[in-house]
Structure 1
Amino acid sequence: MITFETREAMAGGRTSSQPASRLEDESRSLPRPSVRKRIALGVAATTVFAILCALGVWQLERRVWKLDLIERVDRRVHAAAVPAPGPSAWAHVNAADDAYRHVQVKGRFLDSRATLVKAVTERGPGYWVMAPFRTGDGFSVLVNRGFVPSDQDVHEALKAGHGETAITGLLRVSEPGGGFLRTNDPAADRWYSRDVDAIARARGIKDVAPYFIDADAAADSHVLPVGGLTVISFPNNHLVYAITWFGLAIMLLGWMTYAMRQEWILRKRHSGRAIT
């Protein structure tokens, strides 16, 4: 009779443990990170999680600030016109408190040549007409009389009345440097931003205000230059940014939870394995 030795007999009467699963075999063969490395990884992940949450909270705070700014500017734009700040207040004029304030000046346009500044509006490409204005209070201010399309004859639009007049519009802070990825070139009379100081020096205008005024729209919208084209827009994407940061934080937290669970499972398997 042919007999077969049992596994127990081959093992000398000892009962071996059940074969481990392939996953367990592979997990045993893989090098496990040291305790120090695991702690360092946990600290790094926790730090990144805290930073992502902080960025999300910061964006929510920025959103509150932006909504308040929009509300304040809206009140300024639709308020009754007030006298434009004089020399005694120039040192305190700033974008946060004065930009887009509805102001009024009385006086006359100077004979000094107006400055054409490159512009792109809802009416297409063209120029802003920046004309020097002498107020009855003894100071000068640049007035953006409005927009002239590039395909129109600008010479007629450059003519300003010489009599006493009142100008109402929105106070705008100076735009130094340039725009459209180009730098202002006073020597060549090429202007890409409404840089009050540079324009005043180029035209020899004294005692000029550190701001300019965007003139309100005229009764006839077909008369050049066309005023009232000020674009007031404050991008408010802070809620989207906050959701993004918080979303990344949640994803990282999920990964951390998964990694900790896998570590716990491996520890349990190793501690519960019978050694015979």
Structure 2
Amino acid sequence: MSEIAPARKAGFPFGLTIAVAIAFAILCVLGGWQVKRLAWKQDLLARIETLKTAPPVPLAAVVTASATVESAAWRRVSVDCQPVGLPPLSLAYGIRDGDVVWRAQALCGLKDGPYNLILVDRGVVPDLTGKVETTARAFAEPGRVTGVLIPLKQLGGDRARAVAGIAGRSPAPLALMAESETPAPDGITPAPLPAEISNRHLEYALTWFGLAVTLLFIYAAMLWRRLRP
């Protein structure tokens, strides 16, 4: 009788090891990014919490030539808007508390500082809530506005480009989310900030790191079965 030849021992899976290493690195990078986002979100929520008691300061004292967008954002300010002599801006589509809303926006002329205008988000038009399409609405120009500064890009690329593209003007890289206006415009309800800002970055970070650890265990188990005597 012929002897049965022993099974060949499997070689080390170099290709699979490289693929696992790359996947592990990607998962760790994603987890680390979420940790950074967690720190950013915690700082943001802390700054928003201070807005509940912080008195407004003049816009010109916050938006200066040396101020960065990050240092000026989430500050409560007030400003007396100057006429800009430009066509009114159209309503902006948005989502608030799960409903379709239309937000009134206007350009506010600035008298002092490195910029000569700033975008003011005046709030939502209540009678248009839930409507997918709308027609143009005319509102009185803003007078004295008190509100919270946010980075202009946070409103969305289309709105930011529309303001930045005004010829011969120097718009601020921030938007003023109106909390109140004097005189108050008819037909607009101020809605400066969402009612609740979620913070699930720790959960996301743990998910990515958990997937990375799980990948290592699966790879180690596969390697042990492949190379054991």
Which structure has more relative contact order (CA 8 Å, sep 6+)? It is 2
1:56 corresponds to which letter in structure 2?
G
Judge conservation of contact 2:108–2:117 (CA < 8 Å) in 1: yes
In the other structure, the counterpart of 2:121 is 144
1:154 corresponds to which letter in structure 2?
R
Cα separation, partners in 2 of 1:41 and 1:221, compared to 1, 3 Å: same
Cα separation, partners in 2 of 1:262 and 1:79, compared to 1, 3 Å: same
Pick the aligned partner of 1:129 from 89, 102, 105. 105
Whole-angstrom distance in 1 between the partners of 2:223 and 2:170: 70
Gaps of 5+ in 2: none
Whole-angstrom distance in 1 between the partners of 2:29 and 2:95: 39
Overall identity of the aligned pairs, in %: 24
In the other structure, the counterpart of 1:270 is none
- Structure with higher helix content: 1
Counterparts of 1:25-174 in structure 2, within 5 Å, are 28-29=6-7, 31-34=8-11, 37-38=12-13, 41-42=16-17, 45=20, 48-49=23-24, 52-53=27-28, 55-76=30-51, 78-85=53-60, 89-90=64-65, 92-94=67-69, 96-122=70-96, 124-135=100-111, 139-148=116-125, 149=128, 154-155=137-138, 158-160=139-141, 165-174=143-152
Pick the aligned partner of 2:201 from 224, 227, 238. 238
In the other structure, the counterpart of 1:215 is 178
Task: After superposition, give the CA deviation of every residue in 1:209-235 in whole Å (9 maximum; x if it has no partner).
Answer: 443322214699993232234437755
For the pair shown, which has the larger CA radius of gyration, 1 or 2? Answer: 1
Cα separation, partners in 2 of 1:38 and 1:167, compared to 1, 3 Å: closer
TM-score relative to the length of structure 2: 0.68
TM-score relative to the length of structure 1: 0.59
2:208 corresponds to which letter in structure 1?
W
The SS at the match of 2:60 is coil
Cα separation, partners in 2 of 1:127 and 1:193, compared to 1, 3 Å: farther
Whole-angstrom distance in 2 between the partners of 1:58 and 1:112: 42
- CA shift, 1:48, in A, is 4.7
2:76 corresponds to which letter in structure 1?
H
Judge conservation of contact 1:217–1:226 (CA < 8 Å) in 2: no
Gaps of 5+ in 1: 1-10, 12-16, 18-24, 184-191, 268-276
